[in-house]
Amino acid sequence: MDTSGVNRSRLPREVLPGVFVFPDAAEVAHGAARRFVDCAWQAIARYSQFHVALSGGSTPRELFRLLASSEFRSQVDWPRVHLFWGDERAVPPDSPDSNYGMARRELLLRVPIPLANVHRMEAEDPQIGRAAHNYEIVLRRLLRLDDRGFPILDLLFLGMGPDGHTASLFPGSPLLRETTRWVSTPLVAKMNNARRMTLTLPVLEAAENILFLIAGPEKAPALRDVLSNRTQPPLPAQMVQPRHGQRSSDLGFSCFSALFLGAVLTNRSII
Ligand code: 6PG
């Protein structure tokens, strides 16, 4: 704690433009919650609605709890928020593996968001191809389009696996070369051909603001490769190159085009 009473060891460090390292996962979640609020205010001021896609996996759990907490819940105009998902597993919504299910338990049941504003991927549908098409129809109905005709999310949360996958875009997948479809249903070989539903790379890249939340030392090697552009072919998380949005560090904690919030390394050096 310095003379100003600020505990500087808890503050994030910007180690590369748009790459913030936090002391731990709890601080990553706090940084992400602040970002959610800022992006919500900006989008609602500009478009009277806020379209945000949530990431899956375990890392966003703390963020969801924080957004539902007394510290953040009242800062968001929830009736103007529309929730989407970047990807989903082919499991029922009440399954412990459901990305929607986790968000419902930790966030949706605790904030005043209208059910009509919650747009989950129905990846458990036996006709998952039709469900993916229906999801594209929902995106087309609600989101504005960019100059290439892809839907623009105001904020997109993404995670990253130790192999550098993001959403359900895995290394070596032919889906990484997708240029037209918005939603796809890959079989993930390395997960015993588990079926997934995922937004495609052009849709991820069309987002106004992209926020990668990455926590855990097991992800350090992949994050180093992603940030140093060392890998050929590039890892999926490395391939997400935002097409929109203004990037300027003087905005402080407002919206950037792409940011990495991470607590991945004990020795706190990324490259
Ligand atoms: C999923 C995800 C996936 C996730 C990473 C990180 O459905 O699994 O969307 O891309 O973000 O695998 O997962 P963890 O946060 O659990 O490490």
Which residue among 158, 160, 191 is best mutated to probe the pocket of ligand 1, counting the most ligand atoms within 8 A of its Cβ?
160
- Render pLDDT for 103-127 as a digit per residue (tens, 0 to 9): 999 999 999 999 999 999 999 999 9
- Rounded to the nearest angstrom, the distance between the alpha carbon of 57 and the centre of ligand 1 is 4
| Nearest-CA residue for atom 14 of ligand 1 | 57
The atom number, within ligand 1, closest to the CA of 58 reads: 16
Q: Quick one: pLDDT at residue 160?
A: 95
* CA distances, 240 to each of 49, 118, 144, 179 (Å): 25, 25, 20, 13
- Render pLDDT for 190-207 as a digit per residue (tens, 0 to 9): 999 999 999 999 999 999
Residues with Cβ < 8 Å from 136, sequence gap 6 or more?
181, 182, 183
- Rounded to the nearest angstrom, the distance between the alpha carbon of 168 and the centre of ligand 1 is 8
| Nearest-CA residue for atom 12 of ligand 1 | 161
- Rounded to the nearest angstrom, the distance between the alpha carbon of 229 and the centre of ligand 1 is 21
The encoded tokens of residue 116 equal 């009509």
- Rounded to the nearest angstrom, the distance between the alpha carbon of 188 and the centre of ligand 1 is 13
Q: Where are any strands of DSSP class E within the chain?
A: 13-16, 19-21, 50-54, 81-85, 87-89, 155-158, 183-184, 187-188, 194-199, 210-215, 258-263
- Rounded to the nearest angstrom, the distance between the alpha carbon of 255 and the centre of ligand 1 is 23
Instruction: Report residues whose beta carbon is within 6 angstroms of any ligand 1 atom.
Output: 55-59, 86-87, 89, 99, 159-161, 165-167
The encoded tokens of residue 156 equal 């997109």
107, 100 in Cβ contact below 8 A? Answer: no
- Among residues 122, 134, 151, which one has the least CA distance to residue 52? 151
Cα distance between residue 98 and residue 40, in whole Å:
25
- Render pLDDT for 1-30 as a digit per residue (tens, 0 to 9): 667 777 777 778 888 888 888 888 899 999
What pTM does this model have?
Answer: 0.91
- Render pLDDT for 66-105 as a digit per residue (tens, 0 to 9): 999 999 999 999 999 999 999 999 999 999 999 999 999 9
- Render pLDDT for 243-271 as a digit per residue (tens, 0 to 9): 775 454 444 333 333 445 555 443 333 43
The phi, psi pair for 135, rounded to 5°, reads -70, -35
